[in-house]
Structure 1
Amino acid sequence: MMRQYELVDRVRSYNPHADEDLLNRAYVYAMKAHGQQKRASGDPFFTHPLAVAAILTDLKLDDATIVAAVLHDTIEDTASTREDIDRLFGPDIGALVEGLTKIKRLDLVSKRAKQAENFRKLLLAIADDVRVLLVKLADRLHNMRTLKFMPFEKGERIAEETLDIYAPLAGRMGMHGMREELEDLAFAYLMPKARDTILSRLHALREKLGPLITKIEAELSERLVAVNLQAEVKGREKRPYSIWRKMEQKSLAFEQLSDIFGFRVMVDQTADCYRVLGMIHTQWPTVPGRFKDYISTPKPNDYRSIHTTVVGPGQQRVELQIRTREMHRVAENGIAAHALYKDGRTLDMGELASESRAYRWLRRTVEMLAEGDSPEEFLEHTKLELFHDQVFCFTPKGRLIALPQGATPVDFAYAVHTNLGNTAVGAKVNGLAVPLMSKLMNGDEVEIARAEGQVPPAAWENLVMTGKAKAAIRRATRNAVRAQYAGLGRQIVVRAFERAGKVYQDEKLRTSLPRLARSNVEDVMAAVGRGEMFSGDVVKAVYPDFTDERRAGAGPDKMEPGWFGLQQAEGLQFKVPGQVSIPIRGLDGSLPVQFAPNGGAVPGDRIVGILLPGEGITIYPIQSPALTAFDDQPERWLDVRWDIDPDRKELFPAQIEVQALNEPGSLAGITAAIGDNGGNIEDIRLTNRSKDFRDMVIDLSVWDLKQLNAILSQLRAQQTVSRVERVNG
Structure 2
Amino acid sequence: MTRQYELVERVLSYQPTADEAMLNRAYVYAMKAHGNQKRASGAPYFSHPLEVAAILAEMRLDDATIATALLHDTIEDTDVTRTEIDTMFGAEIGTLVDGLTKIKKLDLVTKKAEQAENFRKLLLAISSDIRVLLVKLADRLHNMRTLEHMKPAKRKIIAEETMDIYAPLAGRMGMQWLREELEDHAFRWLNPEAYAAVVERLKILRAHTQGLIDEIEGALITKLKEAKVRCIVAGREKKPYAIWSKMERKQISLEQLSDIYGFRIVVPEVPDCYHALAVVHTTWHAVPGRFKDYISNPKQNDYQSIHTTIVGPRHQRVELQIRTELMHSIAEYGVAAHALYKDTNGANGKAVPSQDSNAYRWLRHLVGMLLDGDNPEEFLEHTKLELFQDQVFCFTPKGRLIALPRGANCIDFAYAVHTDVGNTCVGAKINGRPMPLASALRNGDEVEIICSTAQAPPVAWQSLAVTGKARSAIRRATRDAVRAQYGKLGREILDRAFQRRDKTFSEESLSAALGRLSQKTAEDVMAAVGRGELASATWSVPSFPRRGRRRGQSAGAKSAPTKAGSASARSWASNSAGPAPPVRSGPKAQVEFRSAACEAICRNSPDGGAVPGDRIVGILTPGQGITIYPIHADALKAFDEEPERWIDITWDIDDDNSQRFPAKIAVTAMNEPGSLAQVASVIGEADGNIENIKMTNRVADYTEMLIDLEVWDLQHLNEILAGLRAKDVVSAAARAEG
TM-score of the two chains, using structure 1 as the length reference = 0.51
1:101-121 CA deviation, whole Å, 9 max, x = no partner?
A: 111111111749766553332
Structure 2 distance, partners of 1:270, 1:389, is: 27
Q: Aligned residue for 1:500?
A: none
> Residues 277 and 261 of structure 1: is their aligned pair in 2 closer, same or farther, counting only changes over 3 Å?
same
Q: Aligned residue for 1:208?
A: 208
Q: Aligned residue for 1:129?
A: 129
| AA aligned opposite 1:138 | A
Instruction: Check whether the contact 2:112–2:377 (CA below 8 A) recurs between aligned residues.
Output: no
Q: Aligned residue for 1:155?
A: 155
Q: Aligned residue for 2:724?
A: none
Alignment map for 1:10-409 (pairs within 5 Å): 10-109=10-109, 111=111, 117-339=117-339, 346=346, 352-354=354-356, 356-367=357-368, 369-372=369-372, 376=376, 379=379, 382-383=382-383, 386-387=386-387
Structure 2 counterpart SS, 1:263: strand
* Deviation, structure 1 residue 56: 0.4
Alignment map for 1:530-545 (pairs within 5 Å): none
| AA aligned opposite 1:125 | A
Instruction: Check whether the contact 1:370–1:378 (CA below 8 A) recurs between aligned residues.
Output: no
1:179-214 CA deviation, whole Å, 9 max, x = no partner?
A: 111111112222333222212211221222234443
> Residues 154 and 238 of structure 1: is their aligned pair in 2 closer, same or farther, counting only changes over 3 Å?
same
1:404-426 CA deviation, whole Å, 9 max, x = no partner?
A: 99xxxxxxxxxxxxxxxxxxxxx
Instruction: Check whether the contact 1:62–1:341 (CA below 8 A) recurs between aligned residues.
Output: no
> Residues 283 and 4 of structure 1: is their aligned pair in 2 closer, same or farther, counting only changes over 3 Å?
closer
Instruction: Check whether the contact 2:345–2:351 (CA below 8 A) recurs between aligned residues.
Output: no
> Residues 234 and 156 of structure 1: is their aligned pair in 2 closer, same or farther, counting only changes over 3 Å?
same
* Deviation, structure 1 residue 375: 7.0
| AA aligned opposite 2:97 | V
> Residues 464 and 139 of structure 1: is their aligned pair in 2 closer, same or farther, counting only changes over 3 Å?
same
> Residues 180 and 294 of structure 1: is their aligned pair in 2 closer, same or farther, counting only changes over 3 Å?
same
Alignment map for 1:503-582 (pairs within 5 Å): none
Q: How well do the aligned residues superpose, as a CA RMSD in angstroms? A: 3.1
Structure 1 distance, partners of 2:23, 2:105, is: 26
Structure 2: gaps spanning 5 or more residues = 391-406, 409-461, 467-738
Q: Aligned residue for 2:606?
A: none
* Deviation, structure 1 residue 34: 1.0
Structure 1 distance, partners of 2:3, 2:315, is: 54
1:504-533 CA deviation, whole Å, 9 max, x = no partner?
A: xxxxxxxxxxxxxxxxxxxxxxxxxxxxxx
* Deviation, structure 1 residue 216: 2.5
Structure 2 distance, partners of 1:233, 1:82, is: 48
* Deviation, structure 1 residue 3: 3.1
Structure 1: gaps spanning 5 or more residues = 391-403, 406-461, 467-729
| AA aligned opposite 1:365 | L
> Residues 216 and 271 of structure 1: is their aligned pair in 2 closer, same or farther, counting only changes over 3 Å?
same
* Deviation, structure 1 residue 150: 0.8
> Residues 112 and 171 of structure 1: is their aligned pair in 2 closer, same or farther, counting only changes over 3 Å?
closer
Instruction: Check whether the contact 1:372–1:378 (CA below 8 A) recurs between aligned residues.
Output: no
Structure 2 distance, partners of 1:309, 1:138, is: 33
| AA aligned opposite 1:359 | Y
1:84-142 CA deviation, whole Å, 9 max, x = no partner?
A: 21222112111111111111111111749766553332111222111011000100111
1:569-613 CA deviation, whole Å, 9 max, x = no partner?
A: xxxxxxxxxxxxxxxxxxxxxxxxxxxxxxxxxxxxxxxxxxxxx
Instruction: Check whether the contact 1:120–1:375 (CA below 8 A) recurs between aligned residues.
Output: no
> Residues 379 and 65 of structure 1: is their aligned pair in 2 closer, same or farther, counting only changes over 3 Å?
same
Structure 2 distance, partners of 1:87, 1:119, is: 31
Q: Aligned residue for 2:489?
A: none
* Deviation, structure 1 residue 170: 0.6
Structure 1 counterpart SS, 2:355: helix
> Residues 214 and 228 of structure 1: is their aligned pair in 2 closer, same or farther, counting only changes over 3 Å?
same
Structure 2 distance, partners of 1:169, 1:24, is: 31
Instruction: Check whether the contact 1:15–1:344 (CA below 8 A) recurs between aligned residues.
Output: no
> Residues 304 and 238 of structure 1: is their aligned pair in 2 closer, same or farther, counting only changes over 3 Å?
same
> Residues 463 and 134 of structure 1: is their aligned pair in 2 closer, same or farther, counting only changes over 3 Å?
closer
Structure 2 counterpart SS, 1:379: helix
Instruction: Check whether the contact 2:343–2:352 (CA below 8 A) recurs between aligned residues.
Output: no
* Deviation, structure 1 residue 316: 2.9
| AA aligned opposite 1:64 | A
Instruction: Tell me the percent identity.
Output: 59
Structure 1 distance, partners of 2:388, 2:16, is: 40
Structure 2 counterpart SS, 1:334: helix
Q: Aligned residue for 2:567?
A: none
Structure 2 counterpart SS, 1:210: coil
Structure 1 counterpart SS, 2:327: helix
Q: Aligned residue for 1:722?
A: none
* Deviation, structure 1 residue 344: 6.8
Structure 1 counterpart SS, 2:290: coil
| AA aligned opposite 1:202 | L
Instruction: Check whether the contact 2:300–2:359 (CA below 8 A) recurs between aligned residues.
Output: yes
Q: Aligned residue for 1:705?
A: none
Q: After the TM superposition, which of the residue ranges 56-65 and 188-197 deviates more from structure 2?
A: 188-197
* Deviation, structure 1 residue 327: 1.3
| AA aligned opposite 2:223 | R
| AA aligned opposite 1:84 | E
Structure 1 distance, partners of 2:73, 2:386, is: 26
Structure 1 counterpart SS, 2:14: coil
Instruction: Check whether the contact 2:130–2:355 (CA below 8 A) recurs between aligned residues.
Output: no
Instruction: Check whether the contact 1:99–1:132 (CA below 8 A) recurs between aligned residues.
Output: yes
Structure 2 distance, partners of 1:350, 1:191, is: 38
Alignment map for 1:620-639 (pairs within 5 Å): none
| AA aligned opposite 2:361 | R
> Residues 200 and 110 of structure 1: is their aligned pair in 2 closer, same or farther, counting only changes over 3 Å?
closer
* Deviation, structure 1 residue 312: 2.6
Instruction: Check whether the contact 2:113–2:376 (CA below 8 A) recurs between aligned residues.
Output: no
Structure 2 distance, partners of 1:337, 1:51, is: 20
| AA aligned opposite 1:144 | M
Q: Aligned residue for 1:533?
A: none
1:453-479 CA deviation, whole Å, 9 max, x = no partner?
A: xxxxxxxxx98999xxxxxxxxxxxxx
| AA aligned opposite 1:254 | L
> Residues 114 and 381 of structure 1: is their aligned pair in 2 closer, same or farther, counting only changes over 3 Å?
closer
1:322-354 CA deviation, whole Å, 9 max, x = no partner?
A: 111221111111111113575877489998133
| Aligned residue pair count | 397
Instruction: Check whether the contact 1:290–1:307 (CA below 8 A) recurs between aligned residues.
Output: yes
Structure 1 distance, partners of 2:195, 2:41, is: 24
> Residues 89 and 340 of structure 1: is their aligned pair in 2 closer, same or farther, counting only changes over 3 Å?
farther
* Deviation, structure 1 residue 291: 0.3
Instruction: Check whether the contact 2:109–2:157 (CA below 8 A) recurs between aligned residues.
Output: no
